[in-house]
């Protein structure tokens, strides 16, 4: 079940003209911004498939940049996002790709600031609903059927058990979990799919753990 | 999940003796953990957005490109002239659907139902039948939950994306959702609502997504007009007791399979269909300049 809520169908409230190419695109941009944690100085955006063919007409470009500026889908500043990004000192580079991807609405977003960067691949599957399929070359396999969190952490011993201990204490059962890292001892990520809703108290507790860089809800 | 297909949805509503809208609300409570009041309030806000979009469109808007806008106004004037042939309620639905999509094309604020390109059909029909059925605010909110329930099944078992399944997945789904909601608001049974959805979607099968210049304007605005008209007719047919020989879930699956075999040129790439006509190409060049 990719769609879980009535508001995936009746919603989102958004600036037109396309839920997949405008609202979904804005949401992918905003996830990238949230994961990055601050405003980048550079945004490299590669468009694939239908995104590549029709981005001008759908305002996909302004929507993604609007998302990177932390705008919601209904933010009336979206149409002028390119200009606002320039004023904010963000260098925006668009690339239109020919490569055929699994999903027709695919975008790769890379955000950079100093020596920090993140790169993700998002797909817009219709009606404004999105999925993040790749993060910093880690392939994410989320069913979308259960609540899920993404934990960015230092690749140190004990971090994984500290996280799962807190979940266990709150009687949250893990249905699926993936752990990966780019390089030994550097940044690592965990994707955890659970059966119960993860409350804000649990999130706060997880955030307080040592060696945790960031925790993000991927699916509510 | 309480239901995964239309058959289960109808059975649940019938067994519990409640509206389909109620099943959707119950599922939403279960899935999100929000209270009933919070969920209703959320949908109420979406309804307000829809009202404002229709209102704005009926005053007349023009898109950035100038390709669309003003047709909702023309139709309202025509209805007022008293010369309309196909019935004032039907044309009112068409006009209000057009109004919403004209606002969408003008990058105004709308509520996707289930997508932005198909955002006109559900509110268009709702605000037209409202004039006749005089529903309460809560009944209007229920209309949207019923649409959500049917859309939910389509989205999870087929697609609501033009890029994945063509316009049948967008305006087709929206029209089916609207037809089912009209039936329920008019006092029809859950089964009749499903029949209306099936009848509508059957007549939208194969509809391609071929936006001129990749814009959600031509033919999207008029597809919403016909989607609203289709929904109204199918709702009346179902209320008259007409049933679909092919069950609703099988129609939805047929739509999915048709989408799977639809060439990419006809799935929101602006490479085929109306987008590829001489006029379609010319408009694209006028708007974006010649391709390098």
A204 class by beta-carbon count within 10 Å (0-12 exposed, 13-18 middle, 19+ buried): exposed
A-contacting residues of B 67-126, CB under 8 Å?
103-117, 119, 122
User: What beta strand segments (E) does B69-170 contain?
Assistant: 109-111
Structure token digits, residue B280? 């379609």
pTM: 0.89
- In total, how many domains does chain B have? 1
Whether B1 is in a domain gets the answer: no
- The residue range of the domain holding A163 is 148-219
CB-based contact A127 B160, cutoff 8 Å: yes
Considering only CB atoms, which chain A residues are within 8 Å of B43? Answer: 6-7, 10
Last residue of a domain, one of A135, A157, A173: A135
Same domain as A56, residue A107? yes
- pLDDT tens for each residue of chain B, 292 residues long: 899 999 999 999 999 999 999 999 999 999 888 899 999 999 999 999 999 999 999 999 999 899 999 999 999 999 999 999 999 999 999 999 999 999 999 999 999 999 999 999 999 999 999 999 999 999 999 999 999 999 999 999 999 999 999 999 999 999 999 999 999 999 999 999 999 999 999 999 999 999 999 899 999 999 999 999 999 999 999 999 999 999 999 999 999 999 999 999 999 999 999 999 999 999 999 988 765 3
- The residue range of the domain holding B256 is 6-288
Considering only CB atoms, which chain A residues are within 8 Å of B119? Answer: 16, 19
Cα of B250 to nearest chain A Cα, Å: 18
Annotate B257-292 with b (16+ C-beta within 10 A) or e (fewer).
ebbeebeebbbbbbbbbebeeeebeebbeebeeeee
- In total, how many domains does chain A have? 2
Considering only CB atoms, which chain B residues are within 8 Å of A124? Answer: 161
Q: Choose among A10, A74, A126: nearest Cβ to B113.
A: A10
How far is Cα B96 from Cα B227, in angstroms, rounded to an integer?
Answer: 12
Same domain as A130, residue A81? yes
Which of B113, B101, B203, B188 minimizes the C-alpha distance to B154?
B113
> Domain holding A162: CATH number?
3.30.70.260
Considering only CB atoms, which chain A residues are within 8 Å of B2? Answer: none
Same domain as A152, residue A110? no
Whether the CB of A102 is below 8 Å from some CB of chain B: the reply is no
Size of interface A-B (CB pairs under 8 A): 178
Whether B16 is in a domain gets the answer: yes
Last residue of a domain, one of A103, A135, A167: A135
> Domain holding B233: CATH number?
1.10.4100
């Amino acid at each position: 079940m990719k769609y879980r809520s009535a508001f995936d169908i009746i919603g989102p409230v958004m600036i037109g003209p396309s839920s997949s190419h405008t609202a979904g695109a804005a949401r992918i941009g905003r996830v990238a911004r949230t994961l990055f944690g601050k405003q980048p100085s550079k945004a490299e955006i590669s468009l694939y498939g239908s995104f590549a063919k029709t981005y001008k007409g759908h305002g996909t470009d302004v929507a993604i940049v609007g998302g990177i500026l932390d705008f919601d889908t209904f933010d009336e500043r979206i149409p002028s996002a390119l200009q606002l990004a320039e004023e904010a000192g963000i260098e925006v580079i668009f690339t239109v790709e020919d490569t055929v991807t699994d999903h027709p609405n695919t975008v790769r977003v890379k955000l950079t600031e100093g020596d920090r960067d993140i790169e993700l691949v998002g797909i817009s599957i219709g009606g404004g609903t999105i999925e993040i399929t790749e993060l910093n070359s880690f392939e994410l396999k989320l069913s979308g059927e259960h609540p899920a969190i993404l934990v960015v952490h230092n690749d140190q011993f004990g971090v994984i058990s500290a996280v799962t201990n807190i979940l266990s204490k709150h009687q949250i059962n893990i249905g699926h979990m993936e752990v990966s890292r780019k390089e030994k001892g550097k940044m690592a990520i965990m994707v955890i799919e659970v059966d119960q809703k993860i409350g804000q108290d649990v999130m706060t507790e997880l955030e307080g753990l040592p060696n945790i860089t960031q925790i993000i809800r991927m699916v509510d | 999940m309480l239901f995964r297909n239309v058959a289960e949805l109808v059975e649940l509503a019938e067994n519990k003796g409640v509206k389909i809208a109620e099943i959707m609300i119950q599922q939403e409570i279960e899935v999100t953990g929000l209270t009933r009041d919070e969920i209703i309030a959320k949908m109420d806000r979406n309804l307000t957005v829809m009202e404002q979009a229709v209102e704005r469109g009926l005053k007349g808007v023009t898109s950035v490109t100038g390709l669309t806008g003003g047709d909702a106004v023309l139709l309202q004037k025509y209805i007022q002239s008293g010369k309309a042939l196909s019935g004032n309620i039907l044309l009112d639905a068409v006009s209000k659907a057009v109004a919403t999509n004209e606002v969408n094309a003008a990058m105004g604020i709308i509520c996707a139902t289930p997508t932005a390109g198909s955002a006109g059909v559900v509110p268009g029909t709702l605000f037209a039948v409202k004039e006749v059925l005089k529903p309460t605010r809560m009944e209007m909110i229920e209309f949207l939950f019923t649409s959500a329930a049917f859309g939910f099944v389509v989205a999870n078992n087929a697609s609501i994306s033009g890029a994945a399944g063509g316009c049948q997945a967008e305006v087709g789904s929206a029209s089916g959702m609207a037809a089912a909601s009209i039936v329920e608001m008019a006092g029809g049974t859950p089964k009749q609502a499903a029949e209306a959805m099936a009848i509508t979607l059957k007549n939208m099968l194969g509809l391609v997504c071929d936006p001129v210049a990749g814009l959600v304007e031509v033919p999207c605005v008029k597809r919403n007009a016909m989607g609203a008209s289709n929904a109204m007719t199918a709702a009346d047919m179902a209320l008259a007791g007409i049933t679909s020989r092919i069950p609703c879930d099988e129609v939805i699956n047929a739509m999915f399979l048709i989408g799977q075999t639809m060439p990419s040129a006809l799935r929101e790439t602006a490479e085929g269909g109306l987008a590829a006509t001489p006029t379609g190409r010319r408009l694209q060049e006028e708007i974006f300049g010649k391709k390098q």
